[in-house]
Amino acid sequence: MLPEEGRRRLRIIDAARETFTLYGYGPIVTPTFEDTEVFTRGVGAATDIVRKEMYTFQDGSGRSLTLRPEGTAPVARAFVSNGLHKRPLPQKLWYVAPMFRYERAQSGRYREHYQLGAEALGSDDPLLDAEAIALLSSLYRLLGVPGVRLRVGDMGDEESRGPYRAELRAYLDRHVASLPGDARERMEQNPLRLFDASDDATRAVMAEAPVLLDHLSDAARTHREEVLAGLDALDVVYDEDPTLVRGLDYYTNTVFEFTCDRLGAQSGIGGGGRYDGLVESLGGPPTPGVGFGSGIERIVLALGDDESEPPGIDCYLAVPDRKLRVRYLPLLAELRSRGLACDAGWGGRSLKSLMRRASALRARRAIIVGPREAEEGVATVRDMATGEQVQVAIDELVGSLS
């Protein structure tokens, strides 16, 4: 990643940090790798992530470790191992971190990507789901991401899913002859995943399949209605999508996905949902949670090429005589400590080439100290836009610039 892209990414991270802070989230950092079990138990052994995409290795003591493929299970693990359930709940935590997935790399899909994410643990309030969705929506708005759409689905609770799964299985058993082998295999592990299939035969079968939304328990239906009422109150525009499934098994109730029509095949720019059983599955007390993740590279792609020029610097200190450079190091340090972005060209080069460098760095002023200035205890300050020059006593220089 070169500085052009680095600047775009920093702008995204700065905006995210501001937005997370406004919504009461505090930063959390988890290790780059975790015990493999955190993901097999947390994300689900039947998911593509766990079956095919993890970078797993053994350490010197033979322990199985895995490079973090996603951020939610590690945060839930940290919540348990640090006893965060004893703190006031919900604990609202955000992160930006690299994730590693052995996927087929293509534009927008990388084996290492950076994700910014937020997790609120310890409350089952549906308004927290609405708030998390509104947060991500407002971040995309703040950044000016074009063509964003939001779909909201529902995974129900245990009570809804049991009978629904049986009905879906019965339906699929009736249509098994029309399903390709791969879909039959997935159907055994998690029939809901078939809604996500990309082949025409499976899609045709799933188009007529029963949907979970029609089988929600009373509690799950009430939860959903309150989430949607929250989104309406917050003016968040969404489409209800009864077939939305996500690639992680921990979701319960609300699931959502933001897509961006600028992104082509990898159109998912961010997504998340509620995961009321995750903390318990990692050995903690029953603790509901909700959150989301959004890929920074995908946000960069969605924003397109930013034509704006690099920001430039405040001052360029030009000291053509090598022997003088140590004397002016404290001046450079003092300017920087006053908050001025500075760079310097030290000796061995002509004044002309130093001025070319100052222009290339888009410096607003050049501070020139040649042998004559050094002897007189002054510096020549040149306005790089107008070419105007003034002489300033070195002692007064910092005060005159800051």
Between 295 and 320, CB nearer to ligand HAM: 295
Site for ligand HAM in 298-337 (CB under 6 A): 298
Question: Per CB under 6 A, which region of 147-155, 159-167, 172-180, 290-298 contacts ligand HAM?
Answer: 290-298
Q: Which residue among 109, 149, 175, 349 contacts ligand HAM (CB under 6 A)?
A: 109
Task: Say which residues have a Cβ less than 8 Å from residue 373's Cβ, sequence separation at least 6.
Answer: 379, 380, 391
Phi-psi region of 102 (alpha: psi -120 to 50; beta: other; left: phi over 0): beta
Distance CA 345, CA 319 (A): 6
Between 119 and 373, CB nearer to ligand HAM: 119
Q: Which residue among 25, 79, 95, 110 contacts ligand HAM (CB under 6 A)?
A: 110
Residue 118: CB minimum distance to ligand HAM, A: 7
Residue 258: CB minimum distance to ligand HAM, A: 7
Between 217 and 267, CB nearer to ligand HAM: 267
Task: Say which residues have a Cβ less than 8 Å from residue 207's Cβ, sequence separation at least 6.
Answer: none
Task: Say which residues have a Cβ less than 8 Å from residue 303's Cβ, sequence separation at least 6.
Answer: 8, 143, 144, 145
Residue 339: CB minimum distance to ligand HAM, A: 35
Site for ligand HAM in 115-144 (CB under 6 A): 115, 117, 119
Between 220 and 248, CB nearer to ligand HAM: 248
**322, 347 Cβ separation under 8 angstroms:** yes
Residue listed under structure tokens 């015990």: 35
Task: Say which residues have a Cβ less than 8 Å from residue 14's Cβ, sequence separation at least 6.
Answer: none
**54, 86 Cβ separation under 8 angstroms:** no
Residue 266: CB minimum distance to ligand HAM, A: 7
**50, 118 Cβ separation under 8 angstroms:** no
Distance CA 294, CA 257 (A): 10
Beta bridge partners of 154: 254
**How many residues of this chain bind ligand HAM (CB under 6 A)?**
28
Site for ligand HAM in 47-106 (CB under 6 A): 70-72, 101, 103
**314, 365 Cβ separation under 8 angstroms:** yes
Site for ligand HAM in 230-289 (CB under 6 A): 246-248, 268-273
Between 131 and 297, CB nearer to ligand HAM: 297
Distance CA 332, CA 258 (A): 47
Q: Which residues bind ligand HAM (CB under 6 A)?
A: 70-72, 101, 103, 108-110, 113, 115, 117, 119, 246-248, 268-273, 291-295, 297-298
